[in-house]
């Protein structure tokens, strides 16, 4: 593959544009789209033709509205063939494992040189490897050897959506959808009007970037937000 189509998601416009310019200049990758946060990325992906979509996404972690971990969590369900490389200033242990658990294919620090980032992209596409910056790889190895990464932190992403994506009421309604209830039954169970339930369901679909209950149920069960 001579020129790999990629995307860049970062809330800092100058960094985003500079990185896109440098990567395009290399002639080895082509930046198909850029986005300022997860919501912006998912919206742009919806309106992008399949032939114009990236196959690798350089994803920042800390972003407003929807951060990188939450974005990967949803995007891997919608676009399973796309690979995500987390490109961030963070090297904290929990961030590393959360990124991998969400479905990221690698974890690089933002101060990596452009050739290193390009090499990492090719490693993912051609070799299926999991590139990491040296400091990240060392931390990961030390954590695995010492067993310091506890089950509590591995479960972080299952609760991310509950804590940040959906309100408590929306989680109740999504639970009803998973249980197979229609909106009238959910309304009766939660002492709400059917109109209110419909509005909540619409908000749930929008936040999860799905268009039907089957897709919403798939995400909820896959991420173990509820028991099947």
Q: What are the extents of the domains in the chain?
A: 4-146, 166-222
Give me the residues paired with residue 83 across strands. Answer: 56
**Mean of all residue pLDDT scores within the chain:** 80
Beta strands in the chain (DSSP E): 4-9, 29-35, 56-59, 83-88, 106-109
Instruction: Provide the pLDDT confidence category of residue 161 given band limits of 50, 70 and 90.
Output: very low
In whole angstroms, what is the distance from residue 194 CA to residue 122 CA?
51
Instruction: Provide the pLDDT confidence category of residue 142 given band limits of 50, 70 and 90.
Output: low
Instruction: State the pLDDT at residue 49.
Output: 94
Instruction: State the pLDDT at residue 48.
Output: 93
Instruction: Tell me which of 117 and 161 has the higher pLDDT.
Output: 117
pLDDT of residue 65 exceeding 50, the answer is: yes
In whole angstroms, what is the distance from residue 66 CA to residue 154 CA?
20
pLDDT of residue 80 exceeding 80, the answer is: yes
Range name among 104-118, 120-134, 160-174 with the lowest pLDDT average = 160-174
213: three-class secondary structure by DSSP = helix
Instruction: Provide the pLDDT confidence category of residue 59 given band limits of 50, 70 and 90.
Output: very high
55 close to 79: Cβ distance less than 8 angstroms: no
In whole angstroms, what is the distance from residue 59 CA to residue 117 CA?
12
Instruction: State the pLDDT at residue 145.
Output: 47
Instruction: State the pLDDT at residue 151.
Output: 41
DSSP state of 113: -
Instruction: Provide the pLDDT confidence category of residue 77 given band limits of 50, 70 and 90.
Output: confident
In whole angstroms, what is the distance from residue 38 CA to residue 44 CA?
10
Instruction: State the pLDDT at residue 19.
Output: 94
pLDDT of residue 174 exceeding 50, the answer is: yes
Instruction: Provide the pLDDT confidence category of residue 90 given band limits of 50, 70 and 90.
Output: low
Identify the CATH homologous superfamily for domain 4-146. Response regulator (3.40.50.2300)
165: three-class secondary structure by DSSP = helix
Q: Position of tokens 């040296």?
A: 134
DSSP state of 169: H
What CATH fold (topology level) applies to the domain 166-222?
Answer: Arc Repressor Mutant, subunit A (1.10.10)
Q: 189-226 pLDDT, tens per residue?
A: 999 988 899 889 888 888 887 777 777 777 777 777 76
| Domain 4-146 and domain 166-222 have a common topology | no
């Amino acid at each position: 593959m001579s020129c790999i189509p990629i995307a860049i998601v970062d809330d800092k416009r100058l960094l985003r544009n500079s990185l896109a310019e440098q990567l395009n200049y290399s002639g080895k990758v082509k930046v198909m789209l850029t986005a300022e946060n997860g919501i912006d990325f998912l919206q742009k992906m919806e309106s992008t033709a399949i032939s114009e979509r990236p196959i690798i996404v350089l994803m920042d972690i800390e972003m407003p509205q929807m951060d990188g971990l939450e974005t990967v969590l949803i995007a891997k369900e919608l676009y399973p063939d796309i690979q995500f490389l987390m490109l961030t200033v963070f090297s904290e242990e929990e961030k590393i494992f959360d990124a991998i658990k969400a479905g990221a294919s690698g974890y690089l620090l933002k101060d990596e040189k452009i050739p290193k980032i390009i090499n990492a992209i090719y490693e993912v596409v051609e070799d299926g490897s999991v590139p990491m910056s040296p400091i990240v790889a060392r931390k990961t190895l030390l954590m695995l050897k010492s067993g310091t990464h506890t089950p509590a932190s591995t479960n972080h992403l299952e609760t991310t959506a509950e804590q940040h994506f959906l309100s408590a009421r929306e989680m109740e309604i999504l639970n009803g959808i998973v249980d197979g209830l229609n909106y009238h039954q959910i309304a009766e169970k939660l002492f709400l009007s059917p109109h209110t339930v419909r509005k909540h369901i619409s908000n749930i679909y929008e936040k999860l970037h799905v268009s039907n209950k089957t897709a919403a149920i798939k995400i909820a069960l896959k991420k173990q937000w509820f028991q099947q």
